[in-house]
Amino acid sequence: MIKIDIGQVRAETPGCSQVLHFNNAGASLQPDTVFQAVVDHLDLERRIGGYEAKAQSQEKVDRFYSAFATLLNCQPEEIAYVENATRAWDMAFYSIPFVRGDRILTGQTEYASNYLAFLQAERRHGLRIDVVPNDSTGQISVDRLEAKIDDRVKLIAITHIPSHGGLVNPAAAIGLIARKYGILYLLDACQSVGQMPIDVQEIGCDMLSGTGRKFLRGPRGTGFLYVRQACIESLEPPFVDLHAATWVDEDRFEIRKDAKRFENWESHVAGRIGLAHAVDYALGIGLPAIWNRVRYLAEVLRSRLRDSPGIVVRDMGKEQCGIVTFTKEGEAASAIHKRLSGQGINISVSTVASALLDMKSRGLEEVARASVHYFNTDGEIERFCEALDRG
């Protein structure tokens, strides 16, 4: 088993000496190589001009596609750069040619932005949204999902790792069902890419969206979309420009045949270069090693929290990840966040507004969210729990 040199990665992450960072599910700390790649390109733009800097850095810009192809086990032509995970997901979802009566199958833990899009499509197209119940562990029930399938199901759309609750939904098992019935499968991998190995061939999804800023440790304002080549030409983007399409005659245009049809011409070039460096950094460490380390740290944290008076760990699922959620008797999650922030400890808060179906069903208004990454340490977990107990 490959071991991560924790001392080295912490030395290459200046933020580790500034804060105790348990908010990697929000935005992780960037390693030096990512920061430097962004700054170097911004400096080049400042010195010679934006268009000229891109032309001079074209090989670095193109590295984005090959890096993600390696990361996700797909072809570079199946990758698009999008400015964030929500817009990447939107570009996929709103490209699907829905008709009245189509059904969408989704899960109890679906993220708010995705569900809002379902509701808008329901209003526009007369769709039906069917929420698949969880199984006894708290993850989406694969058996009950399959039982809901009929010839009107147009899309299965699942969040791989919800932003709250700690669980990993069974994405590959759902992929088998989607392929069995020939149904489009859209996977929100915003929280999974970067903390665990992701193989789109193994998962069997047709579309997968994600972000740069979270577990990939890339810049903010960066994201990506994978679309299976066999599906691309059947999906027309909700809008196009002169990058996504070509104006071939006064009354006619042609949309490009690769995943770049989901992009637009103007983008954050420095961010794209930085995100490619973030992928290379993760690949250099190895996603299996990262995943083992993340799960180890998360289990240490959960165990320590369960031993703390008044703390209730709120995580679910047969398989769990680096996101650890909890509540504390007598202290609201938002108050915990504020108190720890004053001590240089970063966490986040998940509210019912971001996951209404799940949190409402569990009677939760908000939970504190501590999300670990491979550069965190056992010592940081102990310091975190001691600070939490003192409140």
Asked if residue 1 has pLDDT above 70, the reply is no
DSSP state of 344: T
pLDDT for res 2: 74
Q: Calculate mean pLDDT across residues 280-286.
A: 98
Q: Calculate mean pLDDT across residues 158-185.
A: 97
Q: What is the mean pLDDT of the chain?
A: 97
Write down the residue that tokens 């909700």 correspond to: 238
pLDDT for res 269: 98
6-29+286-390 and 34-284: identical CATH topology: no
Domain 6-29+286-390 CATH superfamily: Aspartate Aminotransferase, domain 1 (3.90.1150.10)
Look up residue 389 and give its two tokens.
């107990």
Q: Calculate mean pLDDT across residues 263-272.
A: 96
Residues in the chain: 391
pLDDT for res 19: 98
Q: Calculate mean pLDDT across residues 224-251.
A: 96
Domain boundaries, the chain: 6-29+286-390, 34-284
CATH class of 34-284: alpha beta
pLDDT for res 120: 97
Share of residues in the chain with pLDDT > 70 (%): 100
> What pLDDT digit, counting tens, does each position of 53-93 carry?
999 999 999 999 999 999 999 999 999 999 999 999 999 99
For the chain, the straight-line distance linking the first and the last C-alpha, in angstroms and rounded, comes to 39
Bridge-based pairing state of the strands 345-346 and 311-313: unpaired
Q: Calculate mean pLDDT across residues 253-258.
A: 97
Asked if residue 155 has pLDDT above 90, the reply is yes
Q: Say which residue, 2 or 251, is predicted with more confidence.
A: 251
Q: Calculate mean pLDDT across residues 31-45.
A: 98
